[in-house]
Structure 1
Amino acid sequence: MTNQMVYRSPAIALPPSAGAPDASPVSMQSVLLFLRMRWVTILSTIGVFFGLAFFYVVLAVPTYSTSSLLLLARQTSGTDAQALEVQASFIEGQLEIANSNDVLAAVVSRPEIASGPDFEQATPSVFARLRGVIASSSDPVAEQPTVTPSEEEVRINQLIESLRGQVTMRQVGQSAVIEIAASSVDPRSAVDIANAIATEYIARNIAMKSSGARTYSEWLGRLVTEQQRELVTSANALSQFRSEGDPRDQFKLIELQSVADARKTLYENTLTRYTEAKQQITYPVSDATVVSKAGLPLTKAHPRRGLILAFSLMVGLLVGLMLALARHATDRRVMRPERLAIEAGLPFVAPLTSLKSRMGGRKTPISLFAKEQQGSSSGLNLARDISELGASLSVIRRLKHSPVIGVVGTEPNVGASTTVFGLAREWSDMGIRVLLIDASTDATLSQFLAPDAKFGISNVLENARLFDAAMVRLTPTLAFLPIGTGSVATPASRISSQRTDLSLKDLKDKFDAIFVDLPASSISADARSIASSLDGLVVVARYRQTSVDKILETVRRLRDAGGDVLGGVVNFSNAPSSSSPV
């Protein structure tokens, strides 16, 4: 941790709430701080996604996938570009035929397919039902069917929809090969489905070609008969002209000979095509050839455990970072002292490390600065923070004689008593005569610094002659005045009334500096009532607990009451801060 406070020269005047964003670039320290603060959110999100993925791969029914390959006959015509377009259209049409209801109905009608584990209780999938709802809602004027389908038709349609969810068909690259892939919970069933679709598709293709050839041959038969009659007519006309016509009319003879020859050639060509069509009826050839039959799959195709778990970790990390960033952006707790200094318009904001030393279940300000604690690394950090805080406040000593500085927390348990004791201890170690006054209603300092004291500040304000009896000398340069007893009004309210037997001005003649521990501003108005009587105030907040809005409200109220807010302290802080002026 960098134990340097954010400091701004007091000569620089800022508005009370300058909500300008921090334009400094993101540093590695900021990234590490973000991860240290939000690692629970990130890891929890990753854990949730990984847990869901783990349960899915454990509970999901494994499926096996296999495929058969078919080679389609190339359809070439015209230029290369035209041939490619024709081939692509042909393949697309064949894929639609393979996925048609006729082919799939023939597949599910096979006993080995219909009795498979995927079709025992076949019902339309959620996606199939959704497609049906969308299709019906897209055509609101569509009439309801007048014919009610039979139970067998409904069962076949359900089997077809279920089969479509298990089968995928595609063209392999830019080749003339199509792939028919089938998946099933049973590997043998996947093989049967893929091969059955290929077989039924080829059978459907042959039947279509046979039916087309039969229709074509019937038409050619009628055309052959008609052309044969026309050929006989033209031959008779030529023979009659030769026997009865004018032999000198050679043009007529040539014309009749040409017509007879043309009709003979046309007849012969039509007869050839008629013969070929007859052959295609008896022995039709399919446009597709099975290149590779589906083989028995040896490994599960779904779920892919490694891929799903890795993907869940990646998605969990991304979502966790997004959630953490959202929380970080909307979190108004104190986390960045330099941002607080800008928003509150404070000359400085000091991050202060505090040790979690306890005595009797309560925090003990004295033990935090004990020699054995100062020898530890945390103790050294605390001592360095207090030293830097004291150096920042030393500016007021040069501006005012024997300054009276109040230390107020935004709320209870933010470490205000520890901070004021540390400041008093730091200045007294430099040879400055310091008086520490406990004016806090919780009397934390009094309980641990002078638990047996009979008199205190409350008594001294009533009778100034009790000052020497009430004062506790902690060190030659550090004196402590506990809160005392016997008064209903708080010490701060008594001092602000200026109707006391002893005033702060009287104490300035005896000490070089006076620190006052004030009650938290959220539970008492003492800090505001005494603000104008003090030379300065230090506002104490707690890292990742106190709201920035609460600090801004506290600073505004103190300034409205006539107080001079010298700066702020972020206690229990481990946030990195910049040493450059803000």
Structure 2
Amino acid sequence: MYNRMPPVALAYPAAPAAAVREKPLDLRQLFRFLVSNSPLIAIITALFVGATLIYVTTTPPTFVSSAQLMFESQTATSADAQRVLAEEAVVEGQMEIMKSGDVLQAVVRTLGLTADPEFKSDHQPLTDIARSILSIGSVSEPTGRPTARSPEEQLENYTIATLRSRLWIRRVGQSTVIEISASSSHPGKTALIANAVAEQYISQNVRMKSQSARLSSEWLSQRVADIREAVFAADRALLQFQASGETGSQFKLAELKSVSATYRRLYETYLQSWSEAQQRISYPVSDAIFVSRATTPVAKSQPKSTLLLAFALVLGLSFGVVVAIVRHFGNRLVTSADRIAAEADAPCVGEISQAGRAKPKRSGRAPDLLRPDGYGAREWFDRDLRDLKATIGGLRRNRKANLIGLVGTETRAGVTTLAFNLARLASASGSTTLLIDASATNPTLSEVFGKMGATGLMEMLNSPRAYADFIARIERPLMILPIGAFRDVTPGERIGSERIAFNFADLKERFDLILVDLPPLSESADAKAIAPHLDGSIVVCRYGKSSVDSLIETVNALREVGADVLGVILNARPQRKKMKEKPYHESRTTAQSPRTEGSLETNVAGSRVRNG
């Protein structure tokens, strides 16, 4: 039967770590990674979107309205660079004036913002609280003015501070246009505030220019009076010199005329400046004019629901992928065949899908090893099992390994289940198969198919007669050898002593395939003692349960004692695609007829009787 099976080619990487580094990006692996972690990514994305949705729905809307003023610069310099610098300095100064306390105080008083709940603050700022605490017990020096502020002044100052935080004043490009933007939860109020700030700035600018002109007029008035007296004195000196009759001194006469003309020109200049100052006092003009007044906004500016939700979606997906990557590399559990090959330096010879639970028997037992052959059978489990059987068949040909041991990384790795079903399939195909229970810590095969006091592995190791009797009774395709009776000495310890009645190699002449159920290394050292006497060993790990460290330790421990590790089986992997469950008789293949299955059950029962 085995001669007609095509060999299965397996690739054993010589340097797994280097191969992983040189391996190009596989989009299918990336897709599988995203699909396997899709619940985690979806949950994190939903949390981000949900939090953003709560923020959007609970946050009051904010509306923004803007007014624009154009400042007429009076700077005139010869160089363009100097003019630009002068304009920037002047515009920056005017922007600071717009945010000054005098302008905002006028806006607060004009609009009555101290009584507005949006701008009113009933809580004292932390700076004032700290200042009050630090001032306790200290003696303040007399300054001649009161330091305490009335509640009305404090409320007005808080309102001004709130208003300043809701204003944005900026220069539009390199122009002299200044934009004043105000925000509020009421759309109509934003336009009122922006226009009020612009109007109060213009009024403040007019008052400042009027006050400057008044001061300039007072100074110029005094200078005009002084220069007028100087002009009169210069004219009197000239007339007196001319009346004296000293006409011979022409230089003196020219000097007096020059002084009189200079004072007259100076007097006319100051008199003209004084007249202009008087005009500015009577009709002051602001340096800023409205380009556009603020209007009531038709849509809210904050929060931007669509933009925030889109950003939350992208951020949630990105954060979910990052968390999945960190979880993948931080998780030391076996979840893929690639990780097995990369870290354990052993090929993954098969992946077995997780099957449903079996219904308990009347006796109360529900052994997992009967699960795929009893109730709740799954086609995908049987399919993966047949693929594994074909792979092991290829190993038997290429490596000449007919005596194979199965050892798990932990107790619930499913070694006994796989060993029994592999033996069942091999015997169904016509190969004489022997399944040996060598697990002293969990002898499930012996409990199901054996009998108390029956001849088993321990009896055969101790007595040549028991071994000869077992060989004489080989007449079924599938034979199950229980562990037998033992107390202090386990099969591993007995085999390790090398004083045994038979060798496993002797059984290879009687059976086409021999499978040995070994205990995990975490519970017993029997696997390390028995594995070197076998043709090869296969390590079984459980998807999402077995750690990579325990897998590496198991593989290295077997190799240290000289055992040949053929590969690793990834058991109980989540099914990639759901299959419609069918009744047991409908899910069988043509090669597994009811008659064949019936004979298999008879063979197992017969072996149980014979081994008992």
1:385 to partner: Cα distance: 3.6
**Equivalence for 1:282:** 282
Q: Distance in 1 between matches of 2:247 and 2:96?
A: 65
Structure 2 residue 68 is the aligned partner of structure 1 residue 69: yes
Aligned-pair identity in percent equals: 37
**Equivalence for 1:237:** 237
SS at match of 1:109: helix
1:350 to partner: Cα distance: 2.1
SS at match of 1:82: helix
Partners of 1:387 and 1:426 within 8 A in 2: no
Partners of 2:9 and 2:394 within 8 A in 1: no
**Equivalence for 2:397:** 394
Partners of 1:351 and 1:573 within 8 A in 2: no
1:223 to partner: Cα distance: 1.3
**Equivalence for 1:297:** 297
How do residues 318-333 of structure 1 correspond to structure 2 at under 5 angstroms? Answer: 318-333=318-333
Partners of 1:107 and 1:200 within 8 A in 2: yes
1:443 to partner: Cα distance: 3.6
How do residues 419-430 of structure 1 correspond to structure 2 at under 5 angstroms? Answer: 419-421=418-420, 423-424=422-423
Structure 1 residues 381 and 513: CA distance shift in structure 2, 3 A: closer
Structure 2 residue 421 is the aligned partner of structure 1 residue 409: no
Q: Distance in 1 between matches of 2:129 and 2:471?
A: 90
1:188-218 deviation per Cα after TM superposition (whole angstroms, max 9, x unaligned): 3323322221222111111111111111111
Structure 1 residues 474 and 378: CA distance shift in structure 2, 3 A: farther
Return the TM-score normalized by structure 1.
0.83
Q: Distance in 2 between matches of 1:35 and 1:365?
A: 33
1:305-347 deviation per Cα after TM superposition (whole angstroms, max 9, x unaligned): 222222211221222222222222222222343443343333x
**Equivalence for 1:579:** none
Structure 2 residue 536 is the aligned partner of structure 1 residue 536: yes
Partners of 1:539 and 1:568 within 8 A in 2: yes
After superposition, the CA RMSD in angstroms is 3.8
Q: Distance in 2 between matches of 1:386 and 1:173?
A: 77
Q: Distance in 2 between matches of 1:149 and 1:470?
A: 109
Q: Distance in 1 between matches of 2:508 and 2:21?
A: 41
**Equivalence for 2:3:** none
Q: Distance in 1 between matches of 2:574 and 2:241?
A: 123
**Equivalence for 1:7:** 11
Structure 1 residues 189 and 411: CA distance shift in structure 2, 3 A: same
**Equivalence for 2:54:** 55
Structure 1 residues 257 and 389: CA distance shift in structure 2, 3 A: farther
Moved more, 468-477 or 432-441: 468-477
Q: Distance in 2 between matches of 1:65 and 1:474?
A: 93
Structure 2 residue 379 is the aligned partner of structure 1 residue 380: no
Q: Distance in 2 between matches of 1:130 and 1:28?
A: 58
Partners of 1:354 and 1:368 within 8 A in 2: no
Q: Distance in 1 between matches of 2:472 and 2:165?
A: 88
Structure 1 residues 73 and 393: CA distance shift in structure 2, 3 A: farther
1:130-153 deviation per Cα after TM superposition (whole angstroms, max 9, x unaligned): 89999xx9xxxxx99975331233
Q: Distance in 2 between matches of 1:448 and 1:497?
A: 29
Structure 2 residue 319 is the aligned partner of structure 1 residue 316: no
Partners of 1:534 and 1:563 within 8 A in 2: yes
SS at match of 2:278: helix
Partners of 1:124 and 1:162 within 8 A in 2: no
Partners of 2:63 and 2:190 within 8 A in 1: yes
How do residues 488-503 of structure 1 correspond to structure 2 at under 5 angstroms? Answer: 489-503=489-503
Equivalent position amino acid for 1:181 in 2 = S
Equivalent position amino acid for 1:71 in 2 = M
How do residues 118-137 of structure 1 correspond to structure 2 at under 5 angstroms? Answer: 118-121=118-121, 123=123
Equivalent position amino acid for 1:396 in 2 = R
How do residues 177-256 of structure 1 correspond to structure 2 at under 5 angstroms? Answer: 177-256=177-256
1:468 to partner: Cα distance: 8.4
1:272 to partner: Cα distance: 0.6
Moved more, 499-508 or 51-60: 499-508
Equivalent position amino acid for 1:183 in 2 = S
Structure 1 residues 111 and 68: CA distance shift in structure 2, 3 A: closer
SS at match of 2:294: coil
1:177 to partner: Cα distance: 1.7
SS at match of 1:523: coil
1:100 to partner: Cα distance: 0.8
Q: Distance in 2 between matches of 1:181 and 1:122?
A: 26
Partners of 1:65 and 1:300 within 8 A in 2: yes
**Equivalence for 1:150:** 149
Structure 1 residues 365 and 245: CA distance shift in structure 2, 3 A: farther
Q: Distance in 1 between matches of 2:219 and 2:314?
A: 66
Q: Distance in 2 between matches of 1:18 and 1:497?
A: 38
Return the TM-score normalized by structure 2.
0.79
Structure 1 residues 261 and 321: CA distance shift in structure 2, 3 A: same
Equivalent position amino acid for 2:165 in 1 = G
**Equivalence for 2:593:** none
Structure 1 residues 475 and 67: CA distance shift in structure 2, 3 A: farther
SS at match of 2:413: coil
Structure 1 residues 483 and 188: CA distance shift in structure 2, 3 A: same
SS at match of 1:182: strand
Moved more, 28-37 or 263-272: 28-37
1:489 to partner: Cα distance: 4.5
Q: Distance in 1 between matches of 2:367 and 2:506?
A: 33
Equivalent position amino acid for 1:8 in 2 = Y
Q: Which runs of 5+ in 1 are unaligned?
A: 138-142, 577-582
SS at match of 1:285: coil
Moved more, 236-245 or 486-495: 486-495
1:450 to partner: Cα distance: 6.9
Partners of 1:167 and 1:183 within 8 A in 2: yes
Moved more, 477-486 or 168-177: 477-486
1:260 to partner: Cα distance: 1.9
Partners of 2:416 and 2:444 within 8 A in 1: yes
Partners of 1:105 and 1:160 within 8 A in 2: yes
Partners of 2:120 and 2:155 within 8 A in 1: no
1:257 to partner: Cα distance: 2.3
Q: Distance in 2 between matches of 1:244 and 1:444?
A: 150
1:222 to partner: Cα distance: 1.4
1:511 to partner: Cα distance: 2.5
